[in-house]
Amino acid sequence: MGAVAPARHPLARRCYDQRVRQQLLVLCLANPDLDSRVMAWSSYDGTGKTYAMAGDRDEPPYGSVLAAMKDGWRVIQFPALQPPAPGLEHRTGFLRFEYVLERMVDVAAAGSAT
């Protein structure tokens, strides 16, 4: 059985539909558990309906990656878990547990941005 040609696949048509735009949500968690508390976040809206910048909200849009998944967001990047270098176990630095999520939104649909 052969593979479906990309142009004929329903998801491929949706991805190339000019009415559909991507929204990205970056959630940094306290630990690698998907149900862990969100420590920091950012969002990017390809629909142009909303604009967000660092520090403009006191509360994250979701309490965890799992909560965002339940609302229709898809995880497209997991953090690369790497042990700290010897002697640097207790140093602070970048947020290690960063997950990138996406959802595709029809720009013609009203109230679709989060």
Closest CA to 96 of 42, 55, 40, 43: 40
pLDDT per position as a tens digit, 56-73 = 788 999 999 999 999 999
Higher pLDDT, 91 or 20: 20
Tell me the mean pLDDT in the region 15-30: 84
The answer on pLDDT for 18 being more than 80 is no
Give me the residue spans of the domains in the chain: 21-106
**pTM here?**
0.70
Q: How confident is the model at residue 79 (pLDDT cuts 50, 70, 90)?
A: confident
What is the spatial distance between Cα 37 and Cα 46, in angstroms, rounded to a whole number?
A: 26
